[in-house]
Structure 1
């Protein structure tokens, strides 16, 4: 589509990088608004969001490396390691679920250290913003051509023609593909809407946080059906259909269910 918006001298301003920045600020703004509803300190949310963002970048890069090293499909299509570590604004930053895993670990670690924020309420405030950020970030994927879909001839198929999309992401050119990036963006917006609607009916603290992992994981398991990029990794545990996205999506669902049951039981035991 449009990997580069314009160039300033020899420096290209990538659409993907700009949308990632917008995603961070929009997601943080929504998280701060949700935090205020529970009487939490918005400044603390901003500090936490920055730490989570850094962890997400590192985690996304690391999972991309693992996929490239340990799966046959990943070895076939993975980029050179020097490109994995770049923060180029023209291409994807890594595997999104690796970012979420690392960000979640840092979230728990920082709040356990004592940030003046209650863990469960903070998680409830944060995750709608995370879903919004993901939705915007997926538009960046679409602009860059990464995370592309399988070939299709439906009326809404996307055909990429920009050589930069192929150079940076291996995107097939001139072939109609499922716009799976837009499917994922719509799925993330749906996740955000579900979380915001469920917040008004929350029966225990941490419920929205747990619900995020349940619905985010389910959405990814479904949208993986139309993914066509080989460097995401497939064939885990000997099953061709089990891609990295599906594997982490199922793990997210189990984590969400476990947190839901554990925290709900704690509520009922009081």
Structure 2
């Protein structure tokens, strides 16, 4: 709704960028709080979060470029300044950040992999929820046409210039749907944590519920970069494909970690 919050001279402060910064600090703060419940080093969590943030930015833009190329977008548009400013494809960021998470902890960061994953993912969900408010402000990741009472009509030409957002047409506020979905994911993870029976359960649960939420909210996505054409099956968009992949990953981790003998050791109760 407001892609540019305000301008300082000729420098515009984008609402999206500001909300992403807030999302990072809020998500990291929650992750550090969760880490303390298992006596994990909060400074190590911060270092890991920074590495995952950088990889998430690169991964989200890389997936966006790949989808654009597959859909036949001109190279001039794909590698334009608008692409640099755009947020990217969120699941590309999650994939890249997850890869960095496993890589860094396998290298030895003084943090146990599964407990660290349990601590991180509620903060990831919170960060996603806030980030989607940035999408709503910028007009990207917009929804299909809707005439429901809560439909949103974008009017700012900046949103159209950088995201192709239709102007003057009531749309599903799918960005807000995703915000509510991510807040629900966070709530599920926080409520499940005191009842977990093996290390890594909350980490695996994140991928299950995040993937399910994305499969559902894709129903109302209307932006042209959803990547449906190359699949020749309109239902299976890029977001749904990655959402299903997340669910499979979560299920696989759940089954694998729950069967490991050391995983069933009693865990400290939340304080």
TM-score range, shorter chain: over 0.9
Offset, 1:211? 0.2
Offset, 1:82? 2.4
Offset, 1:236? 4.4
Offset, 1:235? 3.4
Correspondence for 1:150 among 141, 144, 153 = 144
Question: 1:25/1:137 Cα in 2 relative to 1: closer, same or farther (>3 Å)?
Answer: same
Contact persistence 2:198–2:258 (CA under 8 A): yes
Question: 1:127: which partner in 2?
Answer: 121
Provide the rounded CA distance (Å) in 2 between the counterparts of 1:145 and 1:241: 23
Contact persistence 2:226–2:239 (CA under 8 A): yes
Structure 2 length-normalised TM: 0.94
Offset, 1:248? 0.1
Q: Deviations over 1:132-162 (max 9, x none)?
A: 0000000000000000000010000000000
Q: Deviations over 1:194-220 (max 9, x none)?
A: 000000100000000000000000000
Contact persistence 2:82–2:162 (CA under 8 A): no
Shift >6 Å, 4+ stretches: none
Question: 1:20: which partner in 2?
Answer: 20
Contact persistence 1:236–1:242 (CA under 8 A): no
Contact persistence 2:199–2:263 (CA under 8 A): no
Provide the rounded CA distance (Å) in 2 between the counterparts of 1:147 and 1:267: 43
Provide the rounded CA distance (Å) in 1 between the counterparts of 2:150 and 2:180: 14
Question: 1:260/1:169 Cα in 2 relative to 1: closer, same or farther (>3 Å)?
Answer: same
Aligned length: 264
SS of 1:151's equivalent? coil
Structure 1 length-normalised TM: 0.94
Provide the rounded CA distance (Å) in 1 between the counterparts of 2:98 and 2:233: 28
Contact persistence 1:19–1:137 (CA under 8 A): yes
Which aligned pairs between 1:8-87 and structure 2 lie closer than 5 A? Answer: 8-71=8-71, 75=73, 79-83=77-81, 86=84
Provide the rounded CA distance (Å) in 1 between the counterparts of 2:130 and 2:149: 23
Cα RMSD after superposing both structures: 1.7
**Mind listing any 5+ residue stretches in structure 1 that lack a counterpart?**
none
SS of 2:187's equivalent? helix
Provide the rounded CA distance (Å) in 1 between the counterparts of 2:5 and 2:81: 21
Provide the rounded CA distance (Å) in 2 between the counterparts of 1:47 and 1:33: 15
Provide the rounded CA distance (Å) in 1 between the counterparts of 2:143 and 2:11: 29
Provide the rounded CA distance (Å) in 1 between the counterparts of 2:185 and 2:262: 27
Residues 1:110 and 2:108 aligned together: no
Question: 2:224: which partner in 1?
Answer: 230
Question: 1:157/1:71 Cα in 2 relative to 1: closer, same or farther (>3 Å)?
Answer: same
SS of 1:143's equivalent? helix
Provide the rounded CA distance (Å) in 2 between the counterparts of 1:57 and 1:232: 19
Provide the rounded CA distance (Å) in 2 between the counterparts of 1:251 and 1:130: 18
Provide the rounded CA distance (Å) in 2 between the counterparts of 1:158 and 1:103: 32
Offset, 1:232? 2.5
